[in-house]
Amino acid sequence: MSDNTFSRFDAADYLQSEADVAAYLTAIMEDGGDDPAFVARALGDVARARNMSQLSRETGISREGLNKALSGSGNPTLSTILKVTKALNLKLSFKPAG
């Protein structure tokens, strides 16, 4: 029997470039776009990869508030999502389904 131990996977560790972030969020929207908690958690991954403290300053939302809203168990408002995406230099867009 093997004594393999694995570290916890954190998507934020792999979001190094703008292209990584765009591909990750596109995949999230395709796989779980109907689940707001899934999307919020993914934005939290991006926020952690970028710098949560800086994001807090740019959005005017406390670090604790961002952590809660983007944890997947929070319920962020559209206003919060828009502030976060703008501060992360992301553009929210829509396209026809199907």
In order, the DSSP letters of 18-62 are: HHHHHHHHHHHHHHHTT-HHHHHHHHHHHHHHH-HHHHHHHHT--
Question: For residue 2, what pLDDT is reported?
Answer: 61
Measured between alpha carbons, how far is 83 from 60 in angstroms, rounded to an integer?
9
pTM for this prediction: 0.82
Question: For residue 82, what pLDDT is reported?
Answer: 92
Ordered per-residue pLDDT tens for the chain, 98 residues? 566 787 788 888 889 998 999 999 999 988 876 788 888 999 999 999 999 999 999 999 999 999 999 988 888 899 999 999 999 999 888 878 77
Question: For residue 1, what pLDDT is reported?
Answer: 56
